[in-house]
Amino acid sequence: MFARSLFLAVSVLALSACGPSEPVSEGAPPDMRRLTEEQYRNTIVDVFGSTVTYGGRFDPLERKDGLTELGARSARVTPSGIEQYYTVARTIAAQVVSGENRDILFPCKPADAKTADDACAKQFFTETGRMLFRRALTTKELEMSVSAAHEVGAGRNDFYEGIAYSLAGMMVTPKFLFVIDSVEPDPKKPGDVRLTAYARASRLSFLLWNSTPDDQLLKAAEAGELDKKSSLEKQVDRMIASPKLDNGVRAFFADFLDLGRFEILEKDPVIYPAFGVKAGEDAKEQLLRTIADHLVARDLDYRDLFTTRHTFVTAPLARIYKVPVTKPDGGWAPYEFAEGDPRAGILTMIGFLSVNSHPGTSSPTLRGRAIRETVLCQKVPDPPGDVDFSGFNDPNSPNKTQRQRLTAHRANPTCAGCHKITDPIGLSLENFDGAGAFRTTENGVKIDTAGDLDGVPFTDAPGLAKAMSTSPAVPACLVSRLYSYATGRPLDRADKDTVAYFQKTFESDGYRMSKLLRQIAISESLYSVSPPKAGAATQAKSSDAQKENPS
């Protein structure tokens, strides 16, 4: 009797440990999305090494549904964009074949460097093309690459010039510039499709590393291992243990927090003389460095990002923070704000405060809206086109505080709805000016920083930080945004159960980012696709790389 009871008890505990099974999302039709500039840069480094560099900017991506990554789905390459891509590709190709790099980056040497060598070219493009296209080249693709290199190499009496010409052409094709959801018939579900192994590898790699799959991941795809749960988990664990996970986490949070706005950030140099170009660059990096250290290096609770006093500073930032400079050369140094300091968490860092302000003033409304929309995933409507700003910009009362000015908007029925949900949050950060420097008064008046977050009152920025760290909407928002980022598409009602499952496991795992990434990376939902719509540009077809055996 005791043995049977013990067996039942152990069985119940085992089932409890397993937790609820994952509700598998149906996914969306296969699509394609353009590489972000950072993904392009990371790919070049991973394929050719850090000695190969380039300059230039690409066409910007539109931000959709809270993420720039989702804007990549509708991105197009303009004629000027193609020209820019080709200029960059030629610069990269010239470095690859240079005397300094060819012995490192080429798997072979031509029999005669003054003419074409198809055998060596074939070996080079087989290996390099596989990394650039994130799959093995088809026979036709390989033949075209070798043929182009032969024609130019023989015509110009230079094997390496031929390789550079063909390589540059390869790097301006959609097969490189776009991550394509290639699909094939699903043998387990007749009539349905599934992502090819190569497409699964790309989806996984861009989530965890924000870069192209490495050789090991491509080999796993080629061996059919990514369709097996145990083999997939092995690859995911290897990738999470890699230093490149830092790149993936930083890329997500740069998108999640909309840090791309730093590209257009301006501050009035007369009002904020300490906020120069370097301070702006460092402010963005401080946010990302703090987040990566907290979530990756130390594997801490995500919610504590909003209360942590541990960060990193440089000399330009130290001048604004008014803290000691430990590295006068401008390097990064760890710093801990003391207990009782008005700085607590990422919302009180210069990066968040400055980018959510106007060029010459702070903005409780911009800050409150950023917290609502970015960190809490709550939509704040745009102001009406005919809104009257005369009450806010009253020339007869130039010494009013932001709180006093915003009272006019909250008294206006047209504006009150939005300002009631943004201002009580944003006003708690008014001890920090438009550049993020601390202050106690505004126009000679003591600043009142009292506010509330959805009924939770607080008196200052550390109080807001604590309220954020205990709000269930904070981790819930992260999970939904991360899942949307991972799949590269906006979420819909069909994803509700899947997202709820990830939110539950995130909670049970102590809100650890590494655990959440792993849970999503090994899930069936990450790789789910539905049959493509009739007439869509991305039709269901087997991967060319699997149809043809490149030789």
pLDDT at 268: 97
pLDDT at 191: 86
Better-scored residue on pLDDT, 395 or 106? 106
pLDDT at 172: 96
Better-scored residue on pLDDT, 13 or 59? 59
Average pLDDT (118-146) is 98
Q: What three-state secondary structure class fits 310?
A: strand
pLDDT in tens, 175-224: 999 999 999 999 988 889 999 999 999 999 999 999 999 999 999 999 99
Tokens standing for 493? 């009602």
Tokens standing for 340? 């009782």
Q: For residues 139 and 285, what is the distance between their CA atoms, to the nearest angstrom?
A: 44
Q: What share of the chain is helix, strand, coil (3-state, %, to 5)?
A: 55, 5, 40
Least confident of 60-64, 177-181, 411-415, 541-545: 541-545
Average pLDDT (306-325) is 96
Least confident of 13-27, 71-85, 166-180, 330-344: 13-27
| Dihedrals phi, psi of 258, to nearest 5 degrees | 55, 50
- How many beta carbons lie within 10 A of that of residue 213, not counting itself? 27
Tokens standing for 238? 């290897």
pLDDT at 398: 57
What are the angstrom distances between the C-alpha of 99 and each of 45, 166, 233, 280? 18, 18, 41, 38
pLDDT in tens, 350-391: 999 999 999 999 999 999 999 999 999 999 887 765 555 444
Least confident of 332-346, 503-517, 536-550: 536-550
Q: For residues 84 and 64, what is the distance between their CA atoms, to the nearest angstrom?
A: 24
Quick one: what percent of the chain has pLDDT higher than 90? Answer: 79
Q: Per DSSP, which regions of 66-155 are E strands? A: none
Q: What does pTM read for this prediction?
A: 0.90
What residues contact residue 214 under an 8 Å CB cut-off, 6+ apart?
Answer: 46, 205
201 and 134 Cβ atoms separated by less than 8 Å: yes
Tokens standing for 133? 């296209």
Q: Strand 183-185 relative to strand 445-446: parallel, antiparallel, unpaired?
A: unpaired
Query: pLDDT category, 545, cuts 50, 70, 90?
Result: very low
Whether the predicted pLDDT of 549 surpasses 80: no
Average pLDDT (55-60) is 86
Whether the predicted pLDDT of 339 surpasses 90: yes
